Amino acid sequence: MGRGLRAFRGRPDRKSQPGSKVTSGKKTPLYDIHVALNAKMVPFAGFIMPVQYSGIRQEHEAVRKTVGLFDVSHMGNFFVTGKGARGFLQRAAVNNVDKLKDMDAQYSALCYPNGTVVDDILVYRLSAERYKLVVNASNIDKDFAWLEGLRKEDPEGSEVVLRDASAELGILSLQGPHALDVARQVMEADPATIGTYKAGRGMVLGVDTLYSRTGYTGEDGFEFFPENKDLPSLWRALLEAGSRYGILPIGLGARDTLRLEAGYSLYGHELTDKTNLIEAGLSWITDFTKGDFTGRAALEPKSRPGGMERRVVGIELLELAIPREGSVIRAGGKDVGVVSSGTMSPTLNKGIAMAYVDVAHAKIGTELEVVIRDSGKKAKVVSRNFYKRAKA
């Protein structure tokens, strides 16, 4: 889910025509607006979502250089409340919920007992007995059922209430160098006072709503969580407020290239029910000092020297070629890994990928080959953070 809002995940299931009305799937409250904007609509995670409006490269560059607006209302919104909420989440998720203060946000994950990934999530502490989770759209039903199963077995489960509010709340994400400038025009509070991975609640264009500052693109950004009835008016107002900066609506295509450039993991690619969270590179969100949690017994051995057989690395192509998911990686004529996500980077103008490789070939600088259309293309292991924005 990356280090920010897990909204920017996944690729479309199939192609569609601009402005077309795909009829199979759930719709966000902005569906008709997307169609009116001539977006290509595609099935994605059970929803009908825009894959692009003006074009993937143009939308990608808008987020990198100015500002873009994403409809991520397909994401799941859960509330975990009650006297036992904190302890329950401490045992259910891998990160340390005890470190959170009111209106803090935290990137975390849910794991199966064998250490593979149920989902990567965001945890918001709204108060001592009230938490909000943002989960992947494709995993809403699965995640809720998993949490409910854990709750029933938890020693404090009788003091925990789980509620799925996914059908009630929308999510808009404002991302880019001018996100702060746009947010200032619509928020009653000064958004500059909201730190990274912090949240707040207040008036946004007359609407009382939760908001946060996380992001999943490598840029600064804000998220808004209005009720569905307020979503269209807020979307229009944000586009109007950003017009002076050249704001664009952004689809699934660009958010995938943006998150990959920033080195953020994606559920269904780097993270699955068959991949170990530590090997996926998320040891930094896994707190072994906090006590027991689901998956700990399988995860902890992987975190020790020699515990991993493979791990996720960044791959940079040294030849003009585009790596794709499933491309085999070779070294010395032997298969040593496979691409989990790949693209042609619009910012770097070169092929980049994240891939699972044998630990013996995971060191930065290691020369490899990526097999593309039966031809080995020269590549090397690099940092997963292909793109880093300049500090203000």
Start-to-end C-alpha separation, the chain:
25
* Residue 390: band (very low, low, confident or very high) from pLDDT cuts 50, 70, 90: confident
- What CATH number corresponds to the domain at position 127? 3.30.70.1400
- Residue pointed to by tokens 């906090």: 290
Structural domain includes residue 20: no
**pLDDT at 376 exceeding the cut of 50:** yes
Amino acid at 50: P
Are 181 and 236 within one domain?
yes
Query: CA–CA distance from 178 to each of 166, 184, 225, 249 (Å)?
Result: 29, 10, 20, 14
Domain boundary among 164, 182, 215: 164
* Residue 389: band (very low, low, confident or very high) from pLDDT cuts 50, 70, 90: confident
Which of 4-13, 190-199, 264-273, 355-364 has the least mean pLDDT? 4-13
Are 367 and 347 within one domain?
yes
Domain boundary among 117, 149, 164: 164
Are 111 and 155 within one domain?
yes
**Distance between CA atoms of 311 and 308, rounded to whole angstroms?**
7
Are 184 and 257 within one domain?
yes
Q: What is the 3-state secondary structure (H, E, C) of the chain?
A: CCCCCCCCCCCCCCCCCECCCCCCCECCCCHHHHHHCCCEEEEECCEEEEEECCCHHHHHHHHHHCCEEEECCCCEEEEEECCCHHHHHHHHECCCHHHCCCCEEEEEEEECCCCEEEEEEEEEEEECCEEEEEECHHHHHHHHHHHHHHHHHCCCHHHCEEEECCCCECCEEEECCCHHHHHHHHECCCHHHCCCCEEEEEEECCEEEEEEECCCCCCCEEEEECEHHHHHHHHHHHHHHCHHHCCEEECHHHHHHHHHHCCCCCECCCECCCCECCCCCCHHHCCCCCCCCCCHHHHHHHCCCCCCCEEEEEEEECCCCCCCCCCEEEECCEEEEEEEEEEEECCCCEEEEEEEEEHHHCCCCCEEEEEECCEEEEEEEECCCCCCCCCC
Are 57 and 196 within one domain?
yes
- What CATH number corresponds to the domain at position 336? 2.40.30.110
Structural domain includes residue 291: no
Are 317 and 351 within one domain?
yes
Per DSSP bridges, beta strands 248-250 and 68-71 are: parallel
Residue-range definition of the domain harbouring residue 336:
309-382
* Count: domains in the chain: 3
- What CATH number corresponds to the domain at position 187? 3.30.1360.120
Are 176 and 63 within one domain?
yes
Are 68 and 172 within one domain?
yes
**pLDDT at 392 exceeding the cut of 80:** no
**pLDDT at 10 exceeding the cut of 50:** no
Structural domain includes residue 347: yes
Q: Which pTM value belongs to this model?
A: 0.93
Give residue-wise pLDDT tens across range 107-157. Answer: 999 999 999 999 999 999 999 999 999 999 999 999 999 999 999 999 999
The pLDDT assigned to 7 comes to 36
**pLDDT at 308 exceeding the cut of 70:** yes
Are 109 and 229 within one domain?
no
Which of 12-16, 113-117, 159-163, 218-222 has the least mean pLDDT? 12-16
Domain boundary among 164, 186, 219: 164
Structural domain includes residue 61: yes
